A and B are shown apart, each in its own frame.
Chain A
Amino acid sequence: MKPDNQRIVITGIGLTSPMGNNLSEFREGLLNNGSGITHTEIRHMGVVAAGLCKFDETKYQPKKMRKRGTRAGAISIYATNEALADSGIQFDSVDKNRVGVYLGITEHGNVETENEIHDLYNTHKMDVSFWSHHHNPRTVANNPAGEVTLNLGITGPHYTIGAACAAGNLGIIQGVQQLLLDEVDLAFAGGISESTETFGIFAAFKAQGALGHHEDPTKATRPLDLERNGIVVSEGGAVYVLERLSDAKKRNAKIYAEIIGYHSNSDASDFVLPNTERQIECMQMAIKKAGIDISEIDIVNMHATGTTQGDIQECQAVEKLFGAHKNVHVNATKGFIGHAMGAAGALELAGNIPSFTDGYIHPCKKIENLDPQCAISGLVNGEKVAHDVKIILNNSFGMLGINSTLIIKKY
């Protein structure tokens, strides 16, 4: 057993998602067949399905700062402040030099750039003297994490981790590592996304034949369903307060879970298509590093974006590793909230954490017509299942073949 100062725990959770602005709202939707996906008008795209968040952007920051900053910054500030409040930490007495902010993102800067180019061409007749002086601080990749430090007066390190759709897990992993290295004593770690405010991401998925659609927006993305036709782009953010167990115990913190293992690797095979073997290796390494047996895992949360090929590849990986283990239940979250890009892994982990206390495993959003190639053992479809959950394994995979697995254990 590792000493307490080498064990990292989650002591606060803050989030905004298309299906709720705190953990209990989000969980309620997951347990009761909710949906956060709606039809919305996107520049150049017309009406498309998307997962949009509705939270009070100025709950934790003045209106002027919201206008100066970005949507990603607003999401980050909201989720971080909510996590901080949830943790019960007296932030005034914390040494701000020893606090770090580590947020995973798929991309950043596209929203601002698209908007400015639009204005340049449509309003300012190509006169670049109208280009905004806010462009640089809004588009630097660290912007979302930087806005958090400005908001909370944090003078420790901050940066974002660009890891495609694996970024939510990678942000958390970075926070864990920085605590273990003794670089900080408190880490705000997670993932965020403002992707729904660009048209480019929608147009690109459409060009790939991967933009999910349906006349009923709540059915626009149907992971593992035979009739699935692609991804719904969503925004959102989930930020965790991470501390060493020794520090959490000292202040009698409420502890959600311990992070007991993780791994990240690369497919090295394709820009876009996933690789079953590398996904298996990633999960196996995380399980090995966690020092557990596969049979001890209660929930595997799949990445499952709703693409034809991606879902099949991942189901092959999951079935191969877990199919023989009756204790392992498998769920997926994107059918409820779409693909929250940089926030996905972090939000999807959050969705499962209440299992430790409410005794249920949330289902996949009801799959009406399960693809036979995705009919994996242990799939929890449409209805929650009662189960004593102790260990959750969370997968997120992204473009350019980035894979990540995070394992947490009930404390």
Chain B
Amino acid sequence: MLSNEEVRAKVLDIIADIALDDDVTAIKDEVALREQLDLDSMDFLDIVMELKKRHKIEVPQEDYTKLASMKSCVEYLAPKFNS
């Protein structure tokens, strides 16, 4: 059973591998990721693909908005990590 902190760490690992030129350690969880990091729609597709490849987690297209901030990522993904 993964804690929210552990889920956050796994998501941050993925984001760090995508936002290669940014410092991801200081991001604010409440603020939209796109406002803090250089991420566009192709990058979000990368996040979705890495969740699938690394953790076998599927994110359907209608749920993409749930990945907007780190807070919403953890809320949405924790149950999927723990299912």
Interface size of B by CB at 8 A reads: 12
Chain-A contact segment, one of B5-13, B16-24, B25-33, B62-70: B16-24
| A62 and B49 contact, Cβ closer than 8 Å, known pairs A133-B42, A134-B42 | no
Flag if B38 contacts A130 (CB, 8 Å): no
Flag if A63 contacts B42 (CB, 8 Å): no
Across the A-B interface, give the 10 residue pairs with the lowest CB-CB distance, nearest first: A63-B20, A62-B21, A64-B20, A133-B45, A63-B21, A64-B21, A67-B20, A64-B19, A68-B42, A133-B42
User: What are 12 A-B residue pairs whose CB atoms fall within 8 Å in the complex?
Assistant: A62-B21, A63-B20, A64-B18, A64-B19, A64-B20, A64-B43, A68-B42, A129-B52, A130-B53, A132-B49, A133-B42, A133-B46
For residue B42, which residues in chain A have a CB less than 8 angstroms away from its CB?
Answer: 68, 133-134
- Kindly supply a per-residue 1/0 record for chain A positions 54-69, scoring 1 wherever the CB is within 8 Å of any chain B CB and 0 otherwise: 0000000011100110
Judged by DSSP, the binding face of A is helix
**Interface residue tally on A, bucketed by range:** 10 to 19
Flag if B49 contacts A133 (CB, 8 Å): yes
Distance in angstroms from B52 CB to nearest chain A CB is 7
Instruction: Point out residues on A near B: beta carbons under 8 Å.
Output: 62-64, 67-68, 129-130, 132-134
C-alpha gap A340/B11 in the complex (Å): 41
Instruction: Point out residues on B near A: beta carbons under 8 Å.
Output: 18-21, 38, 42-43, 45-46, 49, 52-53
Distance in angstroms from A59 CB to nearest chain B CB is 14
For residue A132, which residues in chain B have a CB less than 8 angstroms away from its CB?
Answer: 49
Known: A130-B52, A133-B45. 15 other contacts (CB 8 A): A62-B20, A63-B20, A64-B18, A64-B20, A64-B21, A64-B38, A67-B20, A68-B42, A129-B52, A130-B49, A132-B49, A133-B42, A133-B46, A133-B49, A134-B42
For residue B53, which residues in chain A have a CB less than 8 angstroms away from its CB?
Answer: 130
For residue A64, which residues in chain B have a CB less than 8 angstroms away from its CB?
Answer: 18-21, 38, 43
Distance in angstroms from A246 CB to nearest chain B CB is 41
Output the nearest chain A residue to B19 by Cβ-Cβ distance: A64
For residue B18, which residues in chain A have a CB less than 8 angstroms away from its CB?
Answer: 64
C-alpha gap A129/B51 in the complex (Å): 13
For residue B20, which residues in chain A have a CB less than 8 angstroms away from its CB?
Answer: 62-64, 67
C-alpha gap A241/B19 in the complex (Å): 33
Distance in angstroms from A137 CB to nearest chain B CB is 8
For residue A133, which residues in chain B have a CB less than 8 angstroms away from its CB?
Answer: 42, 45-46, 49
C-alpha gap A64/B40 in the complex (Å): 11
For residue A134, which residues in chain B have a CB less than 8 angstroms away from its CB?
Answer: 42
C-alpha gap A109/B38 in the complex (Å): 27
Query: Interface centre among B18, B20, B45, by most A CB within 10 Å?
Result: B20
